[in-house]
Amino acid sequence: MSSPLALGSSRGLRFGVFGFPVKIDLSFFLIIPFVMVFWRGGLLLGFNIMMVLGVSVLVHELGHAFAARALGAEPVIRLHALGGLTSFVPPVEPTRRQSIGVSVAGPAAGFVLGFLVLIARQVVEDPVVGSVSYHTWRFLILINILWGLLNLIPMLPLDGGHVMENLLPGEALQRRRRAAIVSIVVGLSLAYFLYQRGEDFFALFVLYFAFQSMAVLASVSKKNQQKDAERDELEKALDGLNAGHPGAVTELERLGETSIDPTVQRYAKMLVVQRAATDGDVVRARQQLDAMPGDVHPSIYGLVAMYEGDPTGLQQISDAVINEPTPAAAHILALGHIRAGYEKLLVESLGSGPPGYREPSFLSSVQHTLHTRAKYDEATQVGELLIAMRPESEPQAYYNVASSWAGLGNTERALTRLDEAIERGWNDLRRLDSDPNFARYRHDVDYGAVRGKLRTS
């Protein structure tokens, strides 16, 4: 088995193989009395089987370790009473394909050893049935081939379970939850099958894995709750940032440092760096960009470079956004053009740029950024482009354009888009009443009529 986690300390033997640290827990040596009691074997047989298991499990874990090393990790191998574990911390998050490769490498190494022993067995003299030599050969073949096959059963924490987890759809926690559910079903079914055939020990062994999967399922549910709470905290921090609350940046820094959600971590880091740069504190922006954990969109590096005075900064942003036109990248693209005074050029590029520039979420992000920076002329152009391309856009898009028109003082268009937003289901009365762009219309009869529709809805 393999796990991308740091390995805790434990008592036992320690040595190195091919540069990999290896730990053998004291529990591993319980194999000797187990063989003596349950198989009624002698001390010599117990010692031999322990050695066979040790070599076989070590070869299996070395397969994982070499595959993990290829990803730049520094794996640690641990042998214990229930098998082995290769733990590692990858320098970057591995892809699903890479994770599957690490999982499959263990059984593959065992298969190679098993078949080599099988070939060697054909050229040596047959040992006496029941002798220590007989059991040694037999277990070398069975453990490496049969255990390799069993280890590919789709059940956590077996390698087959990790392969299944990476083949399932959804984000990481969703896949983990689904894999745990499948593992529970497979484990309980297999345990019952083994019990019915009198294999009580192996049934208990599989049942133990099923209970482990139940613990994984409970842990995933807890993490999902934590992720939901962190996303709520991020939203509150963002609202505080937009409102100018002094503690908002500190809260974003905390989320960036401690969040278990990569999306929250990434977005918090981007906001902290962006705020430091746009406030003119480029030294802090660069420090936070380098020090805070998590990856951010490459465009943020171009934005920091712009504020540091690099004339190629805007080009860096544009190149990064073309390669990965996400809503977060759209926000940085707009900030870069505003910094350079090229807002009109930005609007022109949206119509002639890559297809990703015309995605609703991308246009909405650009429009919102221009609007919050009081670039109402360009904000209305982008908003109208979005509505023209996607008349079925979310009601919020209509409201955003209405607010931009109100910022320009164009009463007719502002009230028309506001009315359309309400007709499409927009109903945030508190937002409307606190919007400074509509303050001038508080006593306007036509505005009152439109606002009245919102109150009755």
Q: Is 428 helix (H, G, I), strand (E, B) or coil?
A: coil
Note whether residue 32 is domain-resident: yes
pLDDT at 403: 92
Q: What confidence score (pLDDT) does residue 164 get? A: 92
Query: Residue 356: in which H helix or E strand, if any?
Result: none
Say yes or no to pLDDT of 135 above 70.
Answer: no
Burial class of 280 by CB neighbour count within 10 A (0 to 12, 13 to 18, 19+): exposed
- Total number of domains constituting the chain: 1
Axis-axis angle for helices 96-121, 43-69 (nearest 10): 140
- The two tokens of residue 305 are 């470079």
Look up residue 174 and give its two tokens.
């969703």
* 3-class state of residue 295 by DSSP: coil
Asked if the structure places residue 89 within a domain, the reply is yes
| 324-368 per-position pLDDT tens digit | 888 888 889 899 999 889 989 888 888 777 788 888 888 888 998
User: What pTM was estimated for this model as a whole?
Assistant: 0.60
Assigned domain for 96 exists: yes
Measured CA to CA in angstroms, residue 36 lies from 32, 136, 137, 147, 302 at distances of: 6, 15, 19, 22, 68
Q: Which residues, other chains included, contact 453 with Cβ-Cβ below 8 Å and sequence gap of 6+?
A: 419, 422
pLDDT in tens, 228-282: 888 888 888 888 877 778 788 888 888 888 888 888 888 888 888 888 888 888 8
86 domain residue, yes or no:
yes
Q: Is residue 105 part of a domain?
A: yes
- Asked if residue 119 belongs to a domain, the reply is yes
pLDDT tier for residue 126 given thresholds of 50, 70 and 90 = low
Confidence label for 44 from pLDDT (cuts 50, 70 and 90): low
Range of the domain at 44: 2-152
Q: Is residue 45 part of a domain?
A: yes
Residue 66: Cβ within 10 Å count: 17
Sorted by sequence, the CB contacts under 8 Å of residue 27 that are 6+ apart come out as 80, 81
- Residue 95 falls inside a structural domain: yes
Per-residue pLDDT band for 5 (boundaries 50, 70, 90) equals very low
